[in-house]
Structure 1
Amino acid sequence: MTQRNSKGSPWSIILAGGEGTRLGYFVQRWLGRQRPKQFCAFVGTRSMLQHTLDRAARLAPVERSVLVIARTHRQEAMMQLDGGRVGTILLQPANRDTAAGVFLPLTYVRARDPRATVVIYPSDHFVYPEDQFLDNVRDAILAAERLANRIVLLGVAPDRLEPDYGWILPGRRIVHSGAKQIRTVLKFLEKPTAQQADAALSDNALWNTLVVTAKVNMLWKLGQQCFPDLMERFERLRRAIGTAEEIRVLDEIYRDMPEKNFSSDLLQQVPDRIAVTELTNVLWSDWGRPERITEALRRISRIPAFPLETLNSPFAPIAPIRNRNRFAAGS
């Protein structure tokens, strides 16, 4: 596991191990078969995974990127990687929820560069325009390097109730990073009730994009604090990296691995170790429902790659509750 020297560059972790179950029924109607949404091109010709890899490559060298995919999706992913989009590909033996999805690639980054700063990108979220998104991520990287004892999350000002999202209640301002204000986190709500989401909206809470910047060792220590049993397994894997035992140990630690959720079992437990910065001038959406896809594409005047008749019902835009999100198409 060698790398070229890219001192000062962050590492990219791209999460693409999900099964896409929330959107599975829609993709089945559209394509006539199951395909996780990160491998789908809902607009244009590039899949969501390809978009994410290309964005990550603009902030960190390809050799400092780690992609996590499910072992069962290896063939699907390889057809899209084109031989040069990512430095390290990890085949996750089984889906053990999002904490394992984060700490598996982090194990490999830590083995190579324990003092690194990492950016964690979900591969199934939509962002537009990309230049402004990357400017926001650059500021978050600077913040994570200055606030080495905190995770820095990107949050989005909501314009409607979304109980499916994680919500972040920001606190006091800590520091400026670039043009951005970085704030403490008073509370983190993962998939709140409608009543909790309504209260969070009134309190100027932000949606959690799950785009994370952090120092590797700090994130590792939080994992040890929140789920030591899981982290002991990844310590075993770290010691095996680069040896003949690596694949055997990887399979072994996943065999009866406990399922832990990165949001509810870590972020929600340590709000005092989290900071948040608002993602501005960017349209962001977690495309977990078909209406979110069509609404986002309507807002940027793009034509979907799928026929609208594949939707359950005629398209109706998602009605905003209030206009807090500063994004405007064409900005």
Structure 2
Amino acid sequence: MKGIILAGGDGTRLRPLTRRIAGDERPKQFCRLLDREILLEQTLRRAGRLIPPEQTVTVVVRAHERYYAPLLSGVPAPGLVVQPENRGTAPAILYGLLSLDALVPAGAVAILPSDHYVSDDDLFMAHVAAAFHAARLRPDLAILLGSVPRTPEPEYGWIEPAYAMPIEPRGRLSRVRQFWEKPPPALARKLLGLGCLWNTFVIVASVRTLLALVKEALPDLYERFAAIRPAMGTSSEQEAVRALYAQIPSIDFSRHVLATCPANLAVLALNGVEWDDLGEPRRVMARLARIGMRPEWIRPEAAVIA
């Protein structure tokens, strides 16, 4: 089992809160958003319940070095993938996959965002373990973890299940009929009624399958990274990566890869686990109210942040 921790987002929508909490506009993954533990630290600890640290890479952005360096000082160089710039989740995942493949070839990998909330770490990682099992049985598929929705949230990606798959875990694993990225409010209400799931952006699949999906959906991006693959792990890697990132646009993995290949996807329902991407101040405040938590940074006026 291998892991990729995505920690390169800029978190621009949450800057009003991170400024209040930390005194600067650091991305939320480097912030004590809900309690005394930084979100990235929580994610690394959670992932470590299942995935060996030596088989995990954390993808960051150079501009955030003052935030990640103290947290990841004990991570050996191969386990830290430093992007020169944030170019969205597709380049981050592809760079992470190629780096991990060079470090620990073959096998399956879990892609885990570093800035989300889950209500039960043990149960959540049990679901990730079940997704690894499904990926071994069906190495041609990418397994998405879908959260059972509470509201018709238009800012999330939605997964429309098709039919249940006759493999373990039975009753919880379905093929994907369609992937909906940030649907309009009316469609989100319809998807909620249809029993669709929120996309947590937790993905489990073989490294080879994910590379093949990127190559099919984004051939130009794939070929650009393939061209610098011989430099990876050498003294010329950072120079090659800087030149590459200067030439590519920002590309979203959900919109430009997942949404284009529903036939290659399955979804596993996160039964018994509440999930939140904490992507907007209103969602953070709602989550704090839901779990009855009142961190030290909360002041009376914080409740009106929108």
User: TM-score higher than 0.5 here?
Assistant: yes
For 1:266 and 1:179, the matched residues in 2 are separated by: 27
Q: Alpha-carbon deviation of 1:86?
A: 9.1
Which residue is 1:307 aligned to?
Answer: 298
The separation in 2 between residues aligned to 1:300 and 1:282, in whole angstroms, is: 13
How big is the shift at 1:155? 0.3
Shift of 1:81: 2.6
Q: 1:146 to 1:37 in 2, by over 3 A?
A: same
Alignment of 1:1-331 (within 5 A): 10-84=1-75, 88-178=79-169, 181-311=172-302, 313=304
Deviation, 1:87, is 6.0
Q: Extract unaligned runs of 5+ from structure 2.
A: none
Q: TM-score, normalised by structure 2?
A: 0.94
Secondary structure at 1:176's aligned position in 2?
Answer: coil
Please tell me the residue identity of whatever aligns with 1:273: N
Cα deviation for residue 28 of structure 1 reads 1.9
CA apart distance, 1:72: 0.7
169-178 vs 189-198, greater mean Cα deviation: 169-178
Q: 1:81-118: per-residue Cα shift (whole Å, max 9, x none)?
A: 35259961111111111101111110111223442100
SS at match of 1:155: strand
Deviations 1:188-230 (A, max 9, x none): 0001111111111111110000000000011101101001110
Aligned length: 306
Residues 108-146 of structure 1, C-alpha deviations (whole Å, 9 max, x = no match): 112234421000000011011111111111101111111
RMSD after superposition: 1.9
Q: In the TM superposition, what is the alpha-carbon distance from 1:310 to its structure 2 partner? A: 4.7
Identity across aligned pairs (percent)? 37
Whole-angstrom CA distance in 1 between matches of 2:78 and 2:299: 37
C-alpha deviations, 1:29-83, integer Å up to 9, x for none? 3433211100011233210000001111111111101001110111211112352
Unaligned runs of 5+ in 1: 1-9, 316-331
Deviates further, 139-148 or 206-215: 139-148
Is the contact between residue 139 and residue 180 of structure 1 (CA under 8 Å) also seen in structure 2? no
| TM-score for both structures, normalised by structure 1 | 0.88
Aligned partner of 1:7 in structure 2 is none
Looking at secondary structure, tell me which structure has more helix per residue: 2
What are the Cα deviations for residues 132-181 of structure 1, in whole angstroms up to 9, with x where unaligned? Answer: 11111110111111111111000011111110000000011113324662
Conserved? CA contact 2:152–2:191, under 8 Å: no
Letter of the 2:262 counterpart:
P
Question: What amino acid maps onto 1:208 in structure 2?
Answer: N
Between the aligned partners of 1:232 and 1:133, the Cα distance in structure 2 is 35
The AA in structure 1 aligned to 2:56 is S
What SS does the corresponding residue of 2:172 show, helix, strand or coil?
Answer: strand
Q: Distance in 1 between matches of 2:251 and 2:284?
A: 28
Equivalent-residue separation in structure 2 for 1:53 and 1:225 (angstroms) = 31
CA contact (8 A) 1:171 1:184 kept: yes
Secondary structure of the residue that 1:311 maps to in structure 2? helix
1-structure distance, mates of 2:170, 2:290: 26
Question: Deviation at 1:241?
Answer: 1.6
Cα pair 2:78 2:103 within 8 Å, conserved: no
State how far apart, in whole Å, the 2-side matches of 1:61 and 1:272 are. Answer: 31
Match of 1:209, as an amino acid?
Answer: T
Deviates more, 1:229-238 or 1:303-312: 303-312
Q: Secondary structure at the match of 1:159?
A: coil
Query: Which is worse superposed, 185-194 or 240-249?
Result: 240-249
Paired residues of 2:285 and 2:303 also in contact (CA < 8 A): no
Task: Using the TM superposition, give the Cα deviation of residue 301 of structure 1 relative to its aligned residue in structure 2, in angstroms.
Answer: 2.8
Contact 2:13 2:281 in 1 (8 A): no
Q: Residue 221 of structure 2 aligns to which amino acid in structure 1?
A: L
Change (3 A) 1:53 1:314: closer
**Aligned partner of residue 64 in structure 2, secondary structure:** helix
